[in-house]
Amino acid sequence: MALLDALDGQARLRRMDTEELDALAGEIRAFLIDRVSRSGGHLGPNLGVVELTIALHRVFDSPRDRLVWDTGHQSYVHKILTGRRAGFDRLRQQGGLSGYPSQAESEHDLVENSHASTSLSYADGLARADAYRDVRDRAVVAIIGDGALTGGMAWEALNNIAGGPERGLVIVLNDNTRSYAPTIGGVADHLAVLREGRSWPGVFEQLGLSYLGPVDGHDIGAMEAELIRARELGGPVVVHVVTEKGRGFTHTEGNELDRGHAVRPMDPASGAPLAASAARSYTAVFGEEITKLAAARPDLVAITAAMLEPVGLLEMGRRFPGRVIDVGIAEQHAVTMAAGLSMGGMHPVVAIYATFVNRAFDQLLMDVALHRRAVTFVLDRSGVTGDDGPSHNGMWDLSILQVVPGLRIAAPRDAARLAELLAEAVAWEQGPTLVRFAKGAAEPDIPAATTFGGMDVLRRSGSLDVLVVSVGALAGVALGVSDTLRERGIGTTVIDPRWVTPVNPVLCDVARRHRLVITIEDNSRAGGVGSTIAQALQDAGVGTPLRAFGIPRRFLEHGRRSDVLAGCGLTAPDIALAVVEELAERVDVHVPVERIEGGR
């Protein structure tokens, strides 16, 4: 690592000759393989942009020149070249380096974006601001992948960039033919034509943009020449750079599914995960169950947005290839297309990450729910996801979507309930349904002690002091709260409503007989299930006080899921302590308020 050790910023980088630059690229790849193998993270995308990032930092003067990385998971090399190499020892760990751009880390990180297709809009705004303020001595550079170019927002931006005032804006199109998996659709086909030199002019020039390339994204000298030309042109220009995702590492180059897009901690020699989990993930359970349902129902069609394997649709796609549709990074289109499929007699299942449903709220509300279409939404990675950081936590879906009329929302607590609720969701034909589940291994199955009015009663102990309403994967925490309260002589009833929206009226009847109701959810407290149940109790004339436990209204830093939940107070000791204090203050029940072990 001699060259990396000697690197003191862009000045030293710009003094390197061709031989040194090639050697530096090799050292950076070796460093990435070593560090990301230890921590896990986005390896393939960063191995593919080593030479591109070196060229960018030799031609442009960050942070005065603005570099905006689309999606942000391809910014590891950028972080290395801007003085953050030491931080890779704690990559994606609590208190360590983020896996995405972070303003808190460096002035070189202008945009903390990890949702795709946004860079061109940011860059257009930055370039317009410089034009308005007559700032002419710096450039704005957006680096966007061909996968992100499948998103409609990117084309909205291109339309306005081409038609706006003259301003310096360089669009680096990092074309590696993939997002998570191979890029599909008409945009991918057109880029293939441009790569092969079979079309002139291309779509960018037809829009009125200058176009340079295609250029070999692993030839630093060739890229520098094109980037210098782009900077000197002065107006909006597209530089088409062809790169190879996962370049330089056997286990990413040989992975044709995703080229090592995101890896777990692994042995770099064998590529094998260091700690393979024997437990099935919620995603795997969904994949098995949706394939069974598809076999039984010829009208069932699945839709995903560039996430076929991550959301568990790989097996259904293999068995029923004509009934799994990958729309690219286009959640809005996916949802409205699903409405059309439903109108045409099919039952669509839209499977995306919970964090990405935010992007399609209007379509879900107006195109699906308003028309009472039987579309099932499956939200993977709901609640706290952990190491991917603030933008990837699926902690807003319940707050956003409970306002949608006619939408039924289920939150399974374990694998068995996921299978049950998914089957119930696709059987419902009166309107839209949604099933949300957490990232990672499914919780151990928690059988119901009994059922009551369509709800699962998980525990009934002692007097009717506290009704604990458990939402989804936090059922284990809810039972832990019950255990701790029982030790202090406080009786509890623990209920899993299964369908959290609309609120089951039976829950209001049960709440009426208790002294206190608490709700526990891994969603924002603002507008979450607790808020909705409180409203239902009020509407039903139930005077039992309610205390909602959930995620505070703030963005959460990256870290292990368990640590992030603990930081939000979503542990059994913390919740139990709060309940004891609440009872002492508000309810005529004598309880000891001494510190509960493990509580804060």
CATH assignment at residue 393? 3.40.50.970
Whether the predicted pLDDT of 82 surpasses 80: yes
Please give the pLDDT value at position 597: 61
CA dihedral 65, 70, 76, 79 (to 10 degrees): 20
In a domain, 381, yes or no: yes
Tell whether 120 and 188 lie within a shared domain: yes
Please give the pLDDT value at position 275: 76
Q: Is 167 a catalytic residue?
A: no
Please give the pLDDT value at position 588: 54
Integer Cα distance of 304 and 329 in angstroms: 9
- Tell me the binding residues for thiamine diphosphate: 73, 114-116, 147-148, 176, 249, 331
Q: Is 331 a catalytic residue?
A: yes
Q: Which of 396, 413, 438 is the endpoint of a domain?
A: 438
- Tell me the binding residues for Mg(2+): 146, 176
Q: Which of 289, 331, 443, 521 is catalytic?
A: 331
Tell whether 417 and 485 lie within a shared domain: no
Tell whether 403 and 549 lie within a shared domain: no
Whether the predicted pLDDT of 261 surpasses 90: no
Cis peptide before 165 (omega within 30 of 0): no
For 472-489, write each residue's pLDDT tens digit.
999 999 999 999 999 999
Please give the pLDDT value at position 254: 77
Please give the pLDDT value at position 600: 56
Q: Which amino acid is at 216?
A: D
For 570-599, write each residue's pLDDT tens digit.
999 999 999 999 998 875 545 554 556 666
In a domain, 268, yes or no: no
Report the number of distinct structural domains present in the chain. 3
For 193-229, write each residue's pLDDT tens digit.
888 886 667 899 999 999 998 999 999 999 999 999 9
Tell whether 454 and 411 lie within a shared domain: no
Is residue 382 within 8 Å of residue 436, measured between CB atoms?
Answer: yes
Tell whether 513 and 573 lie within a shared domain: yes
| Of residues 323, 348, 583, 379, the one with CA closest to residue 465 | 583
In a domain, 599, yes or no: no
Q: What is the CA radius of gyration of the chain?
A: 26
Is residue 309 within 8 Å of residue 353, measured between CB atoms?
Answer: no
Weakest mean pLDDT among 141-145, 171-175, 205-209, 254-258 = 254-258
Tell whether 99 and 142 lie within a shared domain: yes
Tell whether 371 and 490 lie within a shared domain: no
At 193, is the secondary structure helix, strand, or coil? helix
Tell whether 427 and 455 lie within a shared domain: no
Q: Which of 392, 415, 438 is the endpoint of a domain?
A: 438
CATH assignment at residue 504? 3.40.50.920
Tell whether 317 and 236 lie within a shared domain: no
Has this prediction a pTM greater than 0.85?
Answer: yes
Q: Is 19 a catalytic residue?
A: no
In a domain, 336, yes or no: yes
For 534-561, write each residue's pLDDT tens digit.
999 999 999 999 999 999 998 888 878 8
In a domain, 429, yes or no: yes
Integer Cα distance of 76 and 82 in angstroms: 10
Q: Which of 35, 167, 245, 547 is catalytic?
A: 245
Tell whether 425 and 463 lie within a shared domain: no
Query: Can you read off the two tokens belonging to residue 89?
Result: 């020892």
In a domain, 265, yes or no: no
In a domain, 444, yes or no: no
Please give the pLDDT value at position 308: 93
Residue range of the domain that includes 330:
282-438
CA angle (305, 306, 310) in 5-degree steps: 100
Tell whether 366 and 482 lie within a shared domain: no
Q: Which residues pair with residue 236 across a beta bridge? A: 169
Q: Which of 29, 92, 359, 417 is catalytic?
A: 359
Taken in order 179, 180, 181, 184, is the CA torsion positive or negative? Answer: negative
Tell whether 318 and 201 lie within a shared domain: no
- Tell me the binding residues: 73, 114-116, 146-148, 176, 249, 331
In a domain, 219, yes or no: yes
Q: Which of 409, 438, 467 is the endpoint of a domain?
A: 438
Is residue 532 within 8 Å of residue 503, measured between CB atoms?
Answer: yes
Is residue 401 within 8 Å of residue 408, measured between CB atoms?
Answer: no
For 327-376, write each residue's pLDDT tens digit.
999 999 999 999 999 999 999 999 999 999 999 999 999 999 999 999 99
